[in-house]
Structure 1
């Protein structure tokens, strides 16, 4: 990431209120854990995982996807965030 891009992100973060920053903090923590290969070895202790979900279309009887969703914990609740630009890592 370039320094200019990082500065733009920081400027955007400074405009957020405290509750938005707390939500972002939980999302980043979940992403870090979900993408940490070492953490994958510790079952049941992670705060974040990436789940590939298929979305049903009951009207047409079809399924679409799978689509990546970050599943993370915030304030004792399991939350879900669609990861629009996430690509499955190639090992």
Structure 2
């Protein structure tokens, strides 16, 4: 596998003009994190709770779980959204 890229017939200005708009576009990582699935241990770590409490929140409908086979997964964005501020 070759790791070099050779550019012929293009100036540095043309290359910069072509790359700057690509670098300024929003990253697709934000879309990826909204659909990122995490396990029960990761959800417990984010919420600072144990597995029993996580199960209670899931059964009560506060959190939505997703299953693949025998695994219970949560969307990271939904876990983060479930944390609500307390108004004093």
Give the TM-score taking structure 2 as reference length: 0.27
- Larger relative contact order, structure 1 or 2 (CA cutoff 8 Å, min sep 6): 2
Query: Which is helix-richer, 1 or 2?
Result: 2
- Larger Cα-atom Rg: 2
Q: Give 1 or 2: higher strand fraction.
A: 1
